[in-house]
Amino acid sequence: MTADFVVETKGLRKTFVSKDRRGKKEVEAVKGIDLVVRKGEIFGFLGPNGAGKSTTQKMLSTLMCPTGGEAKVLGFDLANQQEQIRQNVGCVSQAGGADLASTGIENLVLQAQLYGLNALTAKKYAAEFVERFQMTSFAGRQASSYSGGQKRRLDIALGMINHPQLLLLDEPTTGLDPQSRAYLWGEIKKLKSEGVTVFLTTQYMDEADKLCDTIAIIDNGKIVVTGTPSELKSSVGGDTIVFSFLSEEIARSS
């Protein structure tokens, strides 16, 4: 694995087996993808629902075992070094990971302790992220009372509590109002400035364009194209319509 690559996959695949009255059926959700994510960049995985974005992230975070292919995450082999990957990667799913019956502070302290931190350090980290994500006014309330934007702030703080080198964000702004969306865009850019590599999935072309250094477009389990936002936009030419006149006289009279 190249030192500059935080994620590298070769032929990564995932097949699910479903059952119905006619028997078993295989569904290939990810069809042998090759991708690289470079250190310190914001990498965007752009595609519609069901394209294979979330499944890919679940495999890279060790939450789901690949059916085939290989991958390295932060230099660790996905098949044999899953514990090391978990210690160095933060993951924020679409559904979030907060316990809604607990307060924001309680969620953060528990998450830090799950990474093996002692109670004192866990409380210190929790206070750090409450301030960082501007949650002071609501961190003492049960998470069930939070707005969508507040829950998403907590979700990202939970994903960052172990100070990971790589943060996986699965559609981080889906369903948020414009103000909350803009706030989270700013936080994601700030993570990059602090040296964190961010791998985010999104359905929004404007989000990928504004945030990402590199974009891979995925559809039906296959990567269609990869490039910078400017490269991808320049590769799509606009339609050209050519008008002509039946004669020079008509052209002059027009």
Given a cut of 70, whether residue 151 has pLDDT beyond it is: yes
Number of helical (H) and strand (E) elements in the chain, helices listed first: 9, 10
Nearest-angstrom CA–CA distance, 200 and 205: 12
pLDDT tens-digit readout, 38-76: 999 999 999 999 999 999 999 999 999 999 999 999 999
Mean local confidence (pLDDT), 24-35: 92
Which of residues 217 and 2 earns the better pLDDT score?
217
Mean pLDDT, residues 7-15: 97
**Residue spans of alpha helices (H) in the chain:** 53-60, 82-88, 104-114, 119-132, 148-160, 178-193, 205-211, 229-235, 248-253
End-to-end CA distance of the chain: 65
Instruction: Please state, as a whole number, how many other Cβ atoms lie within 10 Å of the Cβ of residue 81.
Output: 15
- pLDDT (tens digit, 9 = 90+) per residue, 79-119? 999 999 999 999 999 888 899 999 999 999 999 999 999 99
Which uninterrupted H or E stretch holds 28?
strand 23-38
Are the beta carbons of 216 and 242 closer than 8 angstroms? no
| pLDDT at res. 77 | 96
Predicted confidence at residue 249, as pLDDT, reads: 67
**Spatial distance between the Cα atoms of 96 and 155, rounded to a whole number of angstroms:** 6
CA distance 217 to 48: 9
Q: How far is CA 24 from the centre of its chain?
A: 31
Task: Check pLDDT > 70 for residue 1.
Answer: no
Please say if the pLDDT value at position 11 is more than 90. Answer: yes
Does residue 196 register a pLDDT over 90?
Answer: yes
Q: What are the chain's domains?
A: 5-253 (3.40.50.300)
User: What secondary structure letter does DSSP report for 145?
Assistant: G
